[in-house]
Structure 1
Amino acid sequence: MKKLVYILALGILTVSCNNNQAKTEGAQEGTSLSSGENKGELPVITFENAVHDFGKITEGEIVEYSFKFTNTGKGSLLIRNAVASCGCTVPEWPKEPIKPGESGYMKVSFNSKGKPEGFTEKEITIEANTEPPVVKGPKVQCTIVKKA
């Protein structure tokens, strides 16, 4: 009876180790380069201007700027997500892949409603199929003045 328990325990242990190994290998494959690029063929996102200063704006004003970027890498660039350091700043980006050497635009809108007077700066963080997969993107800045 004890031999049967040991055999069952060994069998369960073997099966569970193989399942964990398969899950780990699958997770590694899934988190690597989702678009199948090799490390040397990764896309690189390069912005023409890293910062745009709107100058003085009146509190409540909504301003927009489109940052031009180019894929200076060797693989197609796919931006998965872009978020700003504050909800008052909203980025919009192309959803289709950007081939090597091609350019695109990331439009950034800033809503100054309810913001305090003075200088402010908001940064965009980009998640893409680059290495590293999360990169700091462009910044918008301005000086907010109260309505007259």
Structure 2
Amino acid sequence: MKKLTLLLFVATFSLGLFAQDKKVAKIEFKTDVIDYGTIEKGSDGVRVFEFTNTGNAPLIISSVKSTCGCTVPKKPEGPIMPGQTGEIEVKYDTNRVNPIRKTITVESNAETPTVALKIKGLVVDSKDKSVLEKSDKSVMNQN
């Protein structure tokens, strides 16, 4: 009889454990790509990825890394509680005249622990003119 009682107790206790919701953080970004468009050399390179913790546990972002030194990401310092929003700030060095194609990797305690964010665009220098614009005479108009 003692074994049967013990078995029923363990079974009831086990069912109670499985019935509880697992506490997990979930990170949901408004967008995972920011398009700078075409911007001038030296212009403001700061953009913000906004996210929400849609889980039921505090979200802790452990690291935010970029693929190169021209992009500097900044993560939130403290935990983001369930239902709260947060920001990851990204600063691109706009003194580099080139297309922008960078990936920012976010690592956290979320259900999906690694998320890849992307920035894209084109930095141009209005002082640099194309070869055709530099010439006073067009090849087509020479007589």
* One-letter amino acid of the counterpart of residue 27, structure 2: I
Number of aligned positions between the proteins: 108
Match of 1:69 among 51, 54, 58: 51
Counterpart of 1:141 in structure 2: which amino acid?
K
The percentage of aligned residue pairs carrying the same residue is 35
Identify which of 94, 109, 114 aligns with 1:112: 94
Q: CA deviation at 1:59?
A: 3.2
AA partner of residue 128 (structure 1): S
Structure with the greater alpha carbon radius of gyration: 2
Q: Which has the higher helix share?
A: 1
Q: TM-score, normalised by structure 2?
A: 0.66
Asked if 1:45 is matched to 2:55, the reply is no
Tell me which moved more, 58-67 or 75-84.
58-67
SS at match of 1:40: coil
Secondary structure of 1:86 counterpart: coil
Tell me what 2:113 maps to: 133
1:79 aligns with 2:61: yes
Partner residue in 2 for 1:144: 123
Aligned residue number for residue 101 of structure 1: 83
**Which residue identity does 1:133 align to in structure 2?**
P
Aligned mates of 1:42, 1:139 — CA distance in 2: 25
Pair 1:111–1:84, CA change in 2 (3 A): same
Task: Give, in whole Å, the separation in 2 of the partners of 1:89 and 1:115.
Answer: 14
| Pairing 1:29-44 to 2, within 5 Å after superposition | 40-44=22-26
**d(CA) in 1 for partners of 2:30, 2:125:** 32
Amino acid at match of 1:109: K
Cα-Cα RMSD: 2.1
- TM-score normalised per structure 1: 0.64
Structure 2 CA distance, aligned partners of 1:85 and 1:44? 24
SS state of the match for residue 123, structure 1? strand
The residue aligned with 1:16 is: none
Kindly indicate whether residue 71 of structure 2 is the aligned counterpart of residue 92 of structure 1: no
